[in-house]
Homo-oligomer: A and B are copies of this chain.
Amino acid sequence: MMTKKEALLKAAKELFGECGYAETTFKKISERAGVALGLLTHHYGNKEKLFLAAGLDVLEHFLVVLQDACDRASNGREGALNFCRAYLDFSIDPDSNWLVLVRCSPYSDMKTSADRELMFKKFNEVHQLLEQQLWRGIEDGSIREILVKETVQILMSLLVGVNRTRVLTPYAPPHLYREAIDFASRALTPCNACE
């Protein structure tokens, strides 16, 4: 059994994902949650804070999944590629409420509030996770010599990009995600491993 507070957050995650920030109203949320309108501000303060709470909730879960994927790897290269696969899988899991995070994330084109800082900081943990895998791979020789910071951002950009192509645009070809993984793989793999 869910508490009313949880029901609100659930409804918020769904609706912010489905409708976007502006089109999601307190009325819609409270109705979907089957809960009184006033509880929203009571529990979450205001709309932006609720939005952030919804985004962070998904992000938190996302981080667990990513961490898991990295932990399952036996070397850095595998860890990095697991990370990428987990990222993309999560983004099309119908139960993950991914779209809230898309809209709330630092990569969103929505104008958001002061609390953006908190999201910036938390989302950074995603980058750190990938960075760890790259260092690990360089150490264990499974990844070739690269500029780590830059590569993290390039890989993240690639993931952000293919994800947006798939979940927001009509342009995604059938195996876009698979190709993206191959792309990443080639970028990391040492030259001698090419052959």
Contact = CB atoms under 8 A, between A and B. Distances in A.
Interface string A120-150: 1000100100000000000000000001011
A107 B158 contact: no
A104 B19 CA distance: 16
The complex is assembled from copies of this chain, and their number is 4
Contact of A171 (B19, B153, B164, B169): B153
Nearest to A174: B150
Contacts of A160: 157, 160-161, 164-165
Interface in A29-78: none
A118 interface: no
A81 interface: no
A22 B187 CA distance: 39
B154 A162 contact: yes
A158 B154 CA distance: 8
Contacts of A103: 109
A20 B187 contact: no
A169 B109 contact: no
